[in-house]
Structure 1
Amino acid sequence: MSTRDSIRDWLVTDGYVWLHLAKTLLAAFLAMGVAMRFELPQPRVAMTTTFVLMQPFAGMVLAKSVSRFAGTALGMFAALVLGAVFVQQPELYMFALTAWVAACIALAVRYRQFRWYGFVLAGYTAALIGIPAVADPDSLLIATLTRGAEVMLGIVCSSVVSALVFPRHASATLAQTLARRQARFASFASDVLRGRLSRVARERRFADFVDEIVGFEATRGVAAYESRALPSGRRGLAALNSAFMDVCARLHALDQSMKRLPAARDALTPFLEELARIFEHDALDVHLAHYKATLATRLDFTTSAELLNRFVDDTLRYVSISNSDLSNESVASRFEAKTSRFVIAATFMRTGIAIAATAWFWIVTAWPSGGHAVIGATLACGLSSASARPSKFIMQMAAGAALAIVTGYVFLCRVYPAIDGIALLCAMLAPPLAAGAFLAMRPASAGYGIGFCVFFCLLAAPDNRMVYDPGLLLNNGLAILAAMLAVAMMCAVVVPPRTQWLVGRTLAQLRAMAALACEGKLADLGERFHSGTHDLMFQLRGLLVRRSREHRRALSWMLVTLEVGQAMIDLRREARALNAHCFPDALQSAWRASLARVLRDIAVLFRAPGSETLRRAIASVVASIVIAQGVRDAVPAGRAARRDMQRVLAHLHVVRTALVDPDAPFDR
């Protein structure tokens, strides 16, 4: 490799890391300098804002800034209202403030991604403004205004630096992401069609696609903040992600049919081999279109043939959308994120107990640093609410905060008195803050970096009027540290996210998506079904240990939910499109009754899986197949209604084979 190639490779890997660190420090020091020039009381708040806001892509910063602005405004309003209603009543004030913070963090768990931080900040801002006002209510209005000014300054500095200084755009990476995903899927589909992968390998690849689908949806939302042209293509990107979910589900259903019906695989082997070779070509859309045009004339109508036909249709649609102008896409698709109401309630209860216990101890003991303890508890609950293991994340934050206390003590006693001027101040602050920001960029060490940067800025960053009181720094720091340790223990005891009961409720909500396929309105049902199923599986993958028995079981439920749910949606659509006038009246009523029983029993099976509900569902499907065959045979050969009924039978056979599969998780 030449020197030029080595430099280019470094620029697109480690170079981006160093660029992000440099931009983060530049935004922090710019916010600090402007806050000092405007003589705001706490430039440290503006610095903290930049460390929380800075992201690798400009759209991430802008999206987070919008959420932070809205959350700050809402928190300021809540602090003013609560302070006015409960003036000079600290017990009632802290009770109301605790309820407000717990509600905000619970909503943050419900509305994730960048909206998550907006809700977290709405609670944290109210605490940061209102807690000092417990002892001094007259300062509430001034504290609200100055806090808002400092936060907005941090938002502006982060946005300006991210947008103007060597900006990186998420929209520019979307094309590369889509190309890589399409190439990986083509390779995976070729391996599946040829039967090269084991069951475990196939399941893992499908699970990886779940992460890619949810991650792409987040990137798509971020990229909309970066370009004026992109919002016109947002609908096309959403449709593309929806089409990818459809084609993944079709591939799984086809693979399961080949596994359960060896005779069908033998009959379809030439067609599968030809399709596998097509996936290895570059001009996938052209070859697929030709394959589709000749498939119907070469293939007899069977259940597996119908699955192959629909897989080709959905793949062709996905490739066509990918190769077309996304701004011309007119079909609206919406990704619906779902969070179990039990998870939301558990988050509210856990947060409320942790903050209320800290506030009660502060009020009862009249602890001088108790206000900082409550702020630390609020930060710990808020920033860890997105983590599947909040106690571990808070312990990392506590370790980072402990290091920040030691570093802050050194800076307060030795560094600040020995330097003069903003340039030297920035030079001395750069090494520790850069180290903290670097740790925050790594998922495994994010808690350490966030804890260090946030609490170093809150405890020891320079202000316009410096107070050289090491005792105050240590007292406040130890109060924050003690509160975070207490909250970590609380999160490990009070309904932790990984508790079996909560995981079971999320898994039940995943299974209920199949019931939605049976009972929901058909309009946009496919998008709602697929997005909800993939999002819930994404949550479970965060909660469960990878490659564990529980993870395998959850993945099995996701795959069978996708298979049966998609078949039920197809069945309902085909049944609605049937020309009922071609069938005798007696057969029509019998068919409608049998279809209603199938929909009901499948929904009951996925809501309450067990031996009895499984037997009832299998019996309903078999009875419906018998009736559907009678309806089909009552129509003369060659009529369109007969072919339509044959497709209905294919969907029923898919459901039946899924229910009787010995590897299915229904009766374990």
Structure 2
Amino acid sequence: MKRQHPIKPTADSRWQWSVMVPTLSPAIRDWANSDGLIWLHLLKTVIAGLLALGIAMLLDLQQPRIAMTTVFVLMQPFSGMVLAKSFYRILGTAMGTIAALVLGALFVQQPELYMLGMIGWVSACIAAAVRYRHFRWYGFVLAGYTAALIGIPNVTAPHDLFLAALTRAAEVAVGIVCSSAVSALIVPQRSSLALRRTLHIRYTNFTAFAADVLGRGIERGQFERHFADIVDEIVGFEATRTFAAFEDPAMRSRSQHLSRLNAEFMDACTRLHALHQLLKRLRGSGPRRMADAITPYFRELSALLALTGDASVDAPRIAARMRLFHASLPRRVRETRRPLEATPAESLADFDTAAELLYRFVDEWIRYSETYTSLARRKPGVGQRTAGRYVSKTNGFVVAFTFARSAAVMAIAGWFWIATDWPSGGLAVIGAALACALTSTAPNAPKMAVQMAAGAVLATMTGYLFTCYVYPNIDGFPLLCVVLAPVLALGAFIASRKLSAGYGIGFSVFFCLLAGPDNVVAYAPDLLINNGIAITASLLLAAIVFTVIFPADIPWLTERIKGDLRAQVVSACKDELPGLNQRFQSGTHDLAAQLRMLLTRRSRRRRDALRWMLVTLEIGHAVIDLRNEASHAGYARALHPRWNSSMARTCDDLARLFERPDARGLERTLASVRSTTWAAQDVLETVHGDRDKRHDLQRILSSLHFIRTALLDKDAPFNTH
């Protein structure tokens, strides 16, 4: 859901740049990998902006500054991001142009009705941008913003609307072409390279994290924070994968391979979380003998996961050792289990469940490692394994909330404009639309709106100096480029800093919009100041509405998203099994990332949301395992009269518990899990002589026992209800 602003150099971009400068001295290479990346991005942004301005002037377009403004809204460090945005921006611009013409035709010289239609269109576009996110965000935002940019200045002059629509579309197109060309042709920073480096870093970090969890254990809060970062990585990976497909045919052809890798990574992470939870319960309240019996296997696995150097080199070696460990694990576990068989069944179930989860984790880690190795070495995919499509989910209330918030801001600005007949009121409405659009997916929308307002104030002051003292004293386009370059670079530099991005975006965009040069420069400082006040007032209005009337972290909204998160377990209990695991994993991670974006401040509500995400993954994954194993053990129906009804009741009670968490539902679910466990134990005694069937029933019992221990966990969020 996060909008991709120009960012400070990351490990990904540093790695790409270092590939391009392998022969330079260490000092120069170090500069190129850090500050050099910033200067490269600033240089490309300024070149693209001035190129767009020059071409628009050469074509004698009415407002060349719109083309320059487009560059600063569009420019990104990676070429794939720009190409992706440009493709959807062209579509959005075309739709916005059509919408402006249609509204103008329907409401000729009826500003009130025209304003209502424009508010509905822009708000709907911003809401759709929140719903579909990533690079498609830009298409929907531009469909709304372009309509406002074209239509609002021509409300009272409908005869100029068609010509204005064509002119604005041409100006925006020039900005799109220039930003795409400069990004792709001048020292391109490929998002496909960033994707490969991301995979390398993720594999290294996850392997080290798993080794720590299995070897020495990690405190609960530290584990939760690290796992939350993993959620962001999974969601961000899908966006980067899509960006890379726009620029690299090889990445496009291997899209399914990458999708499978992300799915296997999600499975391995979820299984690691389950192991961590079971270890916590064993060490906290479980039998000491069982914990001592299983712990050596975890420590051995931790040692096997130790990296000694480059992950792409270590991965095949570790995978080979893990395959040997995986092949010998059942025999060794049976030998360890024999002396424990005299212990109570409940304690023995702890050992069996831990061993089963360990076996599954090793299997899933091997799959993930093999797929990663094949990608790192650019070889074909492993076997014929396929993964379902990543499924993005957005709560309907979030979409409606975004629509209402945007409509409220624009309605207030539009009402004030019509009621007062303020000459700059139309620009205030455009500023309100821009504020709602640019902050629609920001983690802290009020803060960003305030930063943009401060940037607009600085842009107005700088624009006043240029209008009064700079433009009258220069002659020719080359000199114009010389005086504009430092100002444009300053805005791009501020926007590249994470904590001050709003200031830089506000300064860059509104300096170009308010004081950018046209073919015929109008020296009207009073109009400039009035327009600057209008833009600043609209941004501050947006910040006030976002804070007072529509705060993003309002409790009922986050509760709705948590309800959708819990509904993932309902899907795990009731949906069709083919492709269910991928749909469950991707939807759960996507909703969890949205909750983390809304709940930015550390608080009890944020911790509660994170724990709902963890328990949803934990129990939902276990239910899918249970249903898959039960489908393989179809013979159990004939061996136990209540087998089908017990399994169905367990799934139904789990679904009801997550739909409406309460103590009574928890007791009912525990009872049904216990009843199904007894049924599975009866079937196990019947088929004990058949090794394959015995293993099927043991896996079912392990899933049931794990679900029961997860329900009884004192840290589980539904226990607080």
TM bin, normalised by shorter chain, reads over 0.9
Whether the 8 Å contact between 1:388 and 1:498 is mirrored in structure 2 is: no
SS in 2 for 1:328: coil
Q: How far does the alpha carbon of each residue in 1:405-452 deviate from its partner, in whole angstroms, 9 at most, with x for none?
A: 100000000000001111111111111211111111222111111111
Matches within 5 A, 1:602-617: 602-617=654-669
Could you say which residue in structure 2 is the equivalent of 1:348? 403
What is the alpha-carbon distance in structure 2 between the residues aligned to residue 258 and residue 131 of structure 1?
62
Aligned Cα RMSD in Å?
1.5
Q: Are 1:272 and 2:298 an aligned pair?
A: yes
Q: Are 1:652 and 2:678 an aligned pair?
A: no
Amino acid at match of 2:321: H
What is the alpha-carbon distance in structure 2 between the residues aligned to residue 474 and residue 603 of structure 1?
60
Whether the 8 Å contact between 1:86 and 1:92 is mirrored in structure 2 is: yes
Q: Are 1:196 and 2:217 an aligned pair?
A: yes
Counterpart of 2:275 (choices 254, 258, 266) is: 254
Counterpart of 1:82 (choices 103, 107, 110) is: 103
What is the alpha-carbon distance in structure 2 between the residues aligned to residue 523 and residue 175 of structure 1?
30
In structure 1, runs of 5+ residues without a counterpart are: none
Could you say which residue in structure 2 is the equivalent of 1:287? 321
Could you say which residue in structure 1 is the equivalent of 2:360? 310
Matches within 5 A, 1:261-660: 261-262=282-283, 263-281=289-307, 282=314, 283-300=317-334, 302-324=352-374, 325=378, 327-328=380-381, 331-545=386-600, 547-580=602-635, 584=638, 587=640, 589-660=641-712
Q: For residue 175 of structure 1, report the CA deviation from its aligned partner.
A: 2.2
Which stretch has the larger CA shift, 489-498 or 106-115? Answer: 489-498
Which stretch has the larger CA shift, 606-615 or 320-329? Answer: 320-329
Q: For residue 27 of structure 1, report the CA deviation from its aligned partner.
A: 0.2
Could you say which residue in structure 1 is the equivalent of 2:15? none
Could you say which residue in structure 1 is the equivalent of 2:3? none
What is the alpha-carbon distance in structure 1 between the residues aligned to residue 108 and residue 472 of structure 2?
40
Q: For residue 3 of structure 1, report the CA deviation from its aligned partner.
A: 9.2
Whether the 8 Å contact between 2:443 and 2:600 is mirrored in structure 1 is: no
Whether the 8 Å contact between 1:250 and 1:310 is mirrored in structure 2 is: yes
Structure 1 residues 482 and 315, CA, compared in 2 at 3 Å: closer, same or farther? same
SS in 2 for 1:261: helix
Q: How far does the alpha carbon of each residue in 1:571-623 deviate from its partner, in whole angstroms, 9 at most, with x for none?
A: 1111111132x6545x1x41111111111111111121121111111111111
Q: For residue 542 of structure 1, report the CA deviation from its aligned partner.
A: 1.8
Whether the 8 Å contact between 2:495 and 2:505 is mirrored in structure 1 is: yes
TM-score under structure 2 normalisation?
A: 0.90
Could you say which residue in structure 2 is the equivalent of 1:210? 231
Whether the 8 Å contact between 2:410 and 2:432 is mirrored in structure 1 is: yes
Q: For residue 174 of structure 1, report the CA deviation from its aligned partner.
A: 2.1
Could you say which residue in structure 2 is the equivalent of 1:56? 77
Q: For residue 636 of structure 1, report the CA deviation from its aligned partner.
A: 3.9
Q: For residue 326 of structure 1, report the CA deviation from its aligned partner.
A: 6.2
Q: How far does the alpha carbon of each residue in 1:466-507 deviate from its partner, in whole angstroms, 9 at most, with x for none?
A: 111111111111112112211211111222211111112112
Which stretch has the larger CA shift, 90-99 or 485-494? Answer: 485-494
What is the alpha-carbon distance in structure 1 between the residues aligned to residue 688 and residue 490 of structure 2?
77
What is the alpha-carbon distance in structure 1 between the residues aligned to residue 508 and residue 177 of structure 2?
19
What is the alpha-carbon distance in structure 2 between the residues aligned to residue 493 and residue 336 of structure 1?
33
What is the alpha-carbon distance in structure 1 between the residues aligned to residue 253 and residue 290 of structure 2?
44
Could you say which residue in structure 1 is the equivalent of 2:128? 107
Could you say which residue in structure 1 is the equivalent of 2:6? none
What is the alpha-carbon distance in structure 1 between the residues aligned to residue 200 and residue 515 of structure 2?
47
Q: For residue 550 of structure 1, report the CA deviation from its aligned partner.
A: 2.1
Amino acid at match of 2:136: R
Whether the 8 Å contact between 2:214 and 2:299 is mirrored in structure 1 is: yes
Could you say which residue in structure 2 is the equivalent of 1:159? 180
Report the count of equivalent residues: 664
Q: How far does the alpha carbon of each residue in 1:74-105 deviate from its partner, in whole angstroms, 9 at most, with x for none?
A: 10011111111111111111111100011000
Q: Are 1:95 and 2:116 an aligned pair?
A: yes
What is the alpha-carbon distance in structure 2 between the residues aligned to residue 189 and residue 636 of structure 1?
35
Counterpart of 1:186 (choices 196, 204, 207) is: 207
Amino acid at match of 2:270: A
Q: For residue 173 of structure 1, report the CA deviation from its aligned partner.
A: 2.2
Whether the 8 Å contact between 2:637 and 2:644 is mirrored in structure 1 is: no
Whether the 8 Å contact between 2:409 and 2:545 is mirrored in structure 1 is: yes
Amino acid at match of 1:203: E
Whether the 8 Å contact between 2:235 and 2:589 is mirrored in structure 1 is: yes
Amino acid at match of 2:300: E
Counterpart of 1:239 (choices 250, 260, 263) is: 260
What is the alpha-carbon distance in structure 2 between the residues aligned to residue 601 and residue 25 of structure 1?
61
SS in 2 for 1:333: coil
Q: How far does the alpha carbon of each residue in 1:54-78 deviate from its partner, in whole angstroms, 9 at most, with x for none?
A: 1001101001101111110110011
Counterpart of 2:251 (choices 219, 230, 233) is: 230
Whether the 8 Å contact between 2:263 and 2:387 is mirrored in structure 1 is: no
Q: How far does the alpha carbon of each residue in 1:243-301 deviate from its partner, in whole angstroms, 9 at most, with x for none?
A: 10100000111121122224433111221121111101521111111111111221138
Q: What is the identity percentage for the equivalent residue pairs of Structure 1 and Structure 2?
A: 54
Runs of 4+ in 1 over 3 A off after TM superposition: 325-330, 582-585
What is the alpha-carbon distance in structure 2 between the residues aligned to residue 270 and residue 248 of structure 1?
21
Whether the 8 Å contact between 1:335 and 1:531 is mirrored in structure 2 is: yes
Q: For residue 546 of structure 1, report the CA deviation from its aligned partner.
A: 5.1
Amino acid at match of 1:485: L
Structure 1 residues 374 and 326, CA, compared in 2 at 3 Å: closer, same or farther? farther
TM-score under structure 1 normalisation?
A: 0.97
What is the alpha-carbon distance in structure 2 between the residues aligned to residue 364 and residue 556 of structure 1?
50
Structure 1 residues 482 and 636, CA, compared in 2 at 3 Å: closer, same or farther? closer
What is the alpha-carbon distance in structure 2 between the residues aligned to residue 381 and residue 141 of structure 1?
26
Q: For residue 531 of structure 1, report the CA deviation from its aligned partner.
A: 0.9
Q: For residue 196 of structure 1, report the CA deviation from its aligned partner.
A: 3.5
Which stretch has the larger CA shift, 212-221 or 292-301? Answer: 292-301
What is the alpha-carbon distance in structure 2 between the residues aligned to residue 285 and residue 642 of structure 1?
29
Q: For residue 221 of structure 1, report the CA deviation from its aligned partner.
A: 0.9
Q: How far does the alpha carbon of each residue in 1:353-402 deviate from its partner, in whole angstroms, 9 at most, with x for none?
A: 11112111211221111111111111111111111321111111110001
Structure 1 residues 482 and 546, CA, compared in 2 at 3 Å: closer, same or farther? closer
SS in 2 for 1:299: helix
What is the alpha-carbon distance in structure 1 between the residues aligned to residue 223 and residue 211 of structure 2?
12
Q: How far does the alpha carbon of each residue in 1:623-653 deviate from its partner, in whole angstroms, 9 at most, with x for none?
A: 1111111122122423422321111111001
Structure 1 residues 639 and 169, CA, compared in 2 at 3 Å: closer, same or farther? same
What is the alpha-carbon distance in structure 2 between the residues aligned to residue 494 and residue 4 of structure 1?
56
What is the alpha-carbon distance in structure 2 between the residues aligned to residue 197 and residue 387 of structure 1?
32
Amino acid at match of 1:277: A
Q: For residue 213 of structure 1, report the CA deviation from its aligned partner.
A: 1.1
What is the alpha-carbon distance in structure 1 between the residues aligned to residue 637 and residue 240 of structure 2?
50
